[in-house]
Amino acid sequence: MKTYLDCIPCFFKQALDTTRIMTSDEVKIKKVLDEIGIMIKNLSLNSSPPEIGRLIYDKISEITGNPDPFKEIKNIYTDAALKLYPYLKQVVIQSEDRLFMAIKLAIIGNIIDFGAKSSLIKSPHELDIEKEVKETVKKGFNLFSYKKFKNYVLSSSDILYIGDNAGETVFDRILIEELEKPVIYVVRGKPVINDATYEDAVRAGIDKVATILSSGVDAPGTILARCSKEFRKKYDNAQLVISKGQGNYETLSEEKKPIFYLLKAKCPVIAKEMEVEVGDMVLREANGV
């Protein structure tokens, strides 16, 4: 997906909110915005938003001197989600269609996103995950592609599952357990916002249900040109790819592969691209699948 003009004000907003978590030094924060300002001129709208996000988050780390500002908050979210794990499991067990319910929960997990909803960063405890799950699970989902997805799961010998945020990982684990196929769970190559790294996936217990693989990418998405050879090989041969969240969608939306995007559409640009409303919970396949 290309970057829209609408993404540009949003880059500044995200950078501002993220940098404020890391420092209260207004001079440093202004410096971040100055540097992003200078970048804009050289940004191609043909890049995907995570390609630009990578440059922005690199700049923030450079200026603040903190390469992993969300480490602690990521742990808080993962631990909160883990406490909820038995409840989530019960919800799945008691549902009429376990796979269908597990997909819904995996999408609900995508609410834990600091990039798109930076207010979460400021007050992690404001997100009452249990309440959110209980309310959201009753809402309508746009699981356009459920039947097709189910068929792909049944016919694939293994599945590549590209994760998104720490904490959401626990919800992914619930879905992985229902897939009943060998799963490779893909994490970012280094910390970026609250995206899940290897360490975060292990904390969520993903290692108990899947093989964890780093994409090698240092961006909030899966920029194929920057992925490791090992990941590319797995990706190229994958019979089924599950792509979680906006950042992965933004970088993989034009791929011609059996990819299924699971996400909550959090911004007008994504909603428009996917032909849904902002806030919609979506399961949709790649074009041509």
Under the rule (CB under 8 A), what is the footprint of its own copies?
A: 5-6, 8-10, 12-13, 16, 26, 29-30, 33-34, 36-41, 45
Per DSSP, 4 falls in state P
Min separation Cβ 11 and its own copies, Å: 8
| Cβ distance to its own copies smaller for residue 13 or 134 | 13
Instruction: Return the percent helix, strand and coil in the chain, to nearest 5.
Output: 55, 10, 35
Min separation Cβ 36 and its own copies, Å: 7
Q: DSSP E strands: which ranges in the chain?
A: 159-162, 183-187, 211-214, 241-244, 259-264, 281-285
Where b means 16+ CB within 10 Å and e means fewer, 203-215 reads bbebeebbebbbb
| Cβ distance to its own copies smaller for residue 36 or 162 | 36
| Cβ distance to its own copies smaller for residue 23 or 228 | 23
Angle at which helices 7-22 and 49-64 cross, to 10°: 30
Min separation Cβ 130 and its own copies, Å: 29
Tell me the C-alpha distance between 212 and 197, whole Å: 10
Q: DSSP E strands: which ranges in 115-237?
A: 159-162, 183-187, 211-214
Q: In degrees, to the nearest 5, what angle opens at C-alpha 112 toward C-alphas 246 and 32?
A: 70
| Cβ distance to its own copies smaller for residue 2 or 232 | 2
| Cβ distance to its own copies smaller for residue 9 or 288 | 9
Min separation Cβ 46 and its own copies, Å: 12
Min separation Cβ 8 and its own copies, Å: 5
| Cβ distance to its own copies smaller for residue 40 or 154 | 40
List, as one string, the DSSP characters of 222-288: --GGGS-HHHHHHHHH-S-EEEEHHHHHHHHTT--SSEEEEEE--SHHHHHHHTS-TT-EEEEEPTT
| Cβ distance to its own copies smaller for residue 21 or 210 | 21
Min separation Cβ 43 and its own copies, Å: 9
Min separation Cβ 49 and its own copies, Å: 15
Q: DSSP E strands: which ranges in 122-181?
A: 159-162
